[in-house]
Amino acid sequence: MKHFPTFLAFDLETANARTGSICSIAFVVIENGKVKHFHSDLIKPETPICAPFTKIHGITNAMVYRAIDFDSYWKQARTYFNQVDFICAHNVSFDKRHLFFYEELDIPFLCTMKLANEIWQIPDKKLTTVAQFLGIDHGTHHNASDDAYTCAQIMIEILKDETFDLSTVLNR
């Protein structure tokens, strides 16, 4: 079995199209190929959740009314993000843009969507399609908890692939 680095897979959902409008976030820390830590929270966004976004993820303004704000959440969660070899997300540019609205991190970010496509050339790069291709039970799409866990499982499969060289990807 190949060496597994410690990494964090995360996903977030947003209240609207505005950068930084996080209303839900989840992350999974993987160490030696196993879940070491899992965390999921609703976040009270700075701006209201728009109806079209509620249709996507099911989160309403009433659900986040008493939720923690992102700054308070980040004070507790940032430690996990800073203690890993890399961070990954599916379509990482979206998630990273919203996270970096609050604070830029000097840790490598990898995209499971791009890596899965490079390794397996899956025509449809959606999280649910990649999970199905790999035989991973996904759960509910656009649920930050399910999406973060699925992303972690995809990254584990990528790391297991004999054609994948993490050092090359981290040095791009």
Residue 106 identity: D
DSSP state of 84: S
Of the candidates 150, 161, 169, which has an alpha carbon nearest to the alpha carbon of residue 109? 169
Give the neighbor-by-neighbor strand order of the sheet with 86-89: 68-69, 34-44, 22-31, 7-14, 86-89, 109-111
Which residues, in sequence order, are CB contacts of 10 under 8 Å at separation 6+? Answer: 25, 26, 27, 28, 81, 87, 88, 89, 95, 99, 148, 151
Mean pLDDT along residues 131-137: 96
Domains of the chain with CATH codes: 7-166 (3.30.420.10)
Residue 104: is its pLDDT beyond 80? yes
Place of tokens 């050339």: 121
Q: 126 pLDDT band (50/70/90 cuts)?
A: very high
DSSP state of 48: P
Q: pTM for the whole thing?
A: 0.95
Mean pLDDT along residues 25-51: 97
Q: What pLDDT is stored for residue 92 in this prediction?
A: 97
